[in-house]
Amino acid sequence: MKDLLTISSFNLLRTLKTKAVFIGIPFMIILIFALNVVFATFISGIWGIKLAYTMTIMLSVIYLVFYNVFATGTSYVVDSNTGIQGLMVRRGAYKWIILYTRFFAAKVITFSFIALSFSQFIIFLHVIKPLGYDLYLDGYVYGILALIPFDILFSGFVILVTTMSFRLKAILPLGWIVGIFSSLYWVLSPIFYLFSTLSSFSQGDNLVTYNAMKLIEQEKTNKTNNNFYTLLRKSNIEYLDAIRGLASGGERGLLYLEIKPDSNLARALDLEAEPGLKYFIYPITDFFGSIHSNYPVRYNSFLELATRILEGDDSVVKLAADYVKTFPLFDDSGVTVRLNDQPDSFDDDGRTLVQKIREKLENNLYLKFINAIGFTSTDQNEKATLAKQSWYMNKTTSNYNGEKQFGAVLNEKINMNNTELVKLFPTDTNLEENLNSLKEILQKQFKFGLNIISPRSDSFLSYKQLIKVSSRDDDDEQDREQNFSLSDAGREKIEEIEPEVSKNIEAISRFSNTLPSTVLINGTIGMVMKAPGVTSKNDLEGLEKTIFMMTFNPFTYFFTMTLLSGKEDFYYDDFGISNSILPAGNFATPNIKYKGGNPDSIDHSSGPVKETNIKDLSMEVRSRPVKVQLIYFGFIAVGILLTLLAYLPYSRNIYKKGAE
C-alpha cells in the first residue's frame, strides 16, 4: 500500500508539472471558447451553434490524442530509458503499480480536461445564448461527454501499443493516425451514409410530416365528422382554394402597378418609353407571399389580403398602395396600384376574380378560426414594437415568450376560455382535448422547427416580365398590350430595390392591423395540415440501409454518441441527426403508409389531406437502432480490456528494460 501511495503521488505530481497540463489545458479551453463565440457571433442561424458544438468536440479529441500519445505513452518509454522504471523494479515495486498508477494519473488529467470542456460549453450557451441554445441545454450538450468513453478506449489502445514495444517509432505514428481519423469523425462518419442517405434527410421535412400525422392520429380518435379537426381541415381546403385564385387573373393578376413612362421608377428601371406609350403594367399579386412555402417566412401573408378582400375593393387597393410606397422610387405620383376589375380570364360568367374570392371567404370557418385565435392592434407604437420582437425580425426568446407573440397565442387564445373560438365548433364534444393536442403540436413545431430556422429574405418584386400598354388608335376600342422583359440594367435595379424581410415588417406594421404572431400561427397551422407524402420505395430502402449502417458500422458509433446522448424521442432524435455538419442518414424519418387504395389518389399539391383519405394513412417511426448507452458501455469495456491486456507485454518487457 505504501508503494501504491508513493508511486501514485509521484506520478500525479510529475504529470501536473508538465507543460501539456499547466499550459496546454488553459490554452485549449480558451481557444475553444473563443472559437465558439466567433461562430455564434458571425455565423447566422443554427449553423453557429452547430459549428461551435462540433469544434468543441473536435479540438477536445485533438488534445486528448496529443496528451495520451505524448504525455502518457511516451512517458513509459522515457521512464524506461532514464532508468526510473528499472529503479522501481529493483526496489520491489509491484509491476501493476508501476504500470497503472501512471495510467490513472493521466486519467485524472484527461477527465479534468473533459469536465472543463463540457463546462465551458455550458457557460458559452448561458452567456452568448446562440440560436437553438435551449435545445442543447435540454440534452444535446451531453454529447460532449462522449469524450469520456473515447478517452478510455484510445488510452487503452496507446498503453497496449506502448507496452508491446517501448519504442517511440511505433507509438507516435500509429497513435497519431488513429487520433487524426478520430478528430475528423464529423467528416468521415457521414461518408458511410452516402450509400444510405434518404432523398430527404431534412429535419424540417421530417418534423412537418411527423406533426401532420400526429394531427391525423388525433383526428381519428374522434367518432363523428363534426369534430374540430375535420371541420377545420375541410374549411382550410376551401380557404386555400380561394387563396390560390389570387395567382390567377390573367397576366395582370389580382393587383398590378401602373407605371407612367416619365416616372422615377420607369427611368430607374431603364424602361423603353416608345412614342404613344400610356403606361407599363407590373403584376404584384405575389407580394403577399407564397402559400406553399415550407416555412411562413413572409410577414405580408395572404391572411391580411383575405381580410381586406372581405372589407371591399378600396381596402385591398389601400393595403397594397400603402405597402408599395415604402419602397424606394415607388412613392411618386407616376406609380399607381390598380385592382384587376376585368372578368376572370378562367371563367366566362362575367364575375371578377375578387368577387369570386370574396364569395368563398365570406363564411369560411378556417378564416374565422384564425381571426379568433390571432392578435390584432390599431396602436401604431404597439404594432412597431411587437414587429421588432417578432420571429421575423430577430431570433430571441421573446419570439415565443413575448407579449402577443407565438406562445401567447397558444396559452391565451387556444383554450376553452376563448368563447369566440368555442362558438365556432358547437358540435365537437372533445373540443378541449382536440385544442390541447393542436397546441402541443404547434409548440413542438416552433421549438424544433421555427425556433432554429431563420426567415428568408423576400419581397414582392418577383416578376421579371412587364406589359406595355400603348394608346389606342382611333379605330381601336381597346388599349394595345405587349409583354416584354426588363433590360439587364432594370433587373439589377430591382435587385437593389428588393428589401429584406425585416424592412418589410417595419413597413407593414404601420398600416396592417394583423400582428406577426397571427401570421406565424396561420402559416404554422398550414404546414402541419399539409398532406404528408407517402414514403417512396427508394426512401424506404434508404431508411433500412441507414438503420443497418448505424447498427453494424463501428466507424459511426462515436458520431452517434455525440449527436444522440440527449433525450430519446422522435423530436430529439430527428434534431440530433440533422445537426450533423454533413448530411447523415436519419433513422427517425417517418415511414408514412397508405392502405385501402392507391397512394397516388392523395392530392399532395393542394395542401391538406382530403378527408376521405385520412383514415388510410398511418405512420411508423423507428426507435434508435442501437442504444447509445450500449455504445458507451462498449467503448468503456473495450478500453478497459485493452488496458488490462497491456499488463501481459508489460510484465515481460519491464525486466528487459529495467535490467538495461
pLDDT of residue 433: 94
pLDDT, tens only, 280-309: 887 775 544 433 333 333 434 567 777 788
Q: Are 189 and 556 in contact (CB under 8 A)?
A: yes
Q: CB burial class (10 A; 0-12, 13-18, 19+) of residue 582?
A: middle
Band (316; pLDDT cuts 50, 70, 90): confident
Q: Decide: helix, strand or coil at residue 397.
A: coil
pLDDT of residue 38: 94
Q: Decide: helix, strand or coil at residue 617.
A: strand
pLDDT, tens only, 587-628: 888 988 877 555 554 544 444 455 556 778 889 998 898 899
Task: Supply φ then ψ for residue 549, to 5 degrees.
Answer: -65, -45
The highest-confidence range among 203-207, 500-504, 533-537, by mean pLDDT, is 533-537
Is pLDDT larger for residue 90 or for residue 209? 209
Report the relative pairing of strands 480-485 and 465-470 from DSSP bridges.
antiparallel
Q: Are 409 and 375 in contact (CB under 8 A)?
A: yes
pLDDT, tens only, 342-377: 776 556 666 777 888 888 888 999 999 999 999 988
Is pLDDT larger for residue 379 or for residue 18? 379
pLDDT, tens only, 220-248: 888 777 889 989 988 988 888 777 666 55
Q: CB burial class (10 A; 0-12, 13-18, 19+) of residue 496?
A: exposed
pLDDT of residue 455: 62
Instruction: Give the Cα separation of 556 and 488 in Å (integer).
Output: 50
pLDDT, tens only, 516-530: 888 889 888 988 887
Average pLDDT over the chain, rounded to an integer: 78
Statement: residue 438 has pLDDT above 90: yes
Q: Are 15 and 112 in contact (CB under 8 A)?
A: no
pLDDT of residue 474: 45
Q: Are 581 and 54 in contact (CB under 8 A)?
A: yes
pLDDT of residue 201: 44
pLDDT of residue 290: 38
Residue type, 6: T
pLDDT of residue 288: 47
pLDDT of residue 502: 53
Q: Decide: helix, strand or coil at residue 29.
A: helix
pLDDT of residue 247: 55
Q: Determine the length of the chain.
A: 660
* Percent of the chain's residues with pLDDT above 90: 25
pLDDT of residue 37: 94
Residue type, 433: E
Rounded to 10°, the helix 147-165/74-82 angle is 30
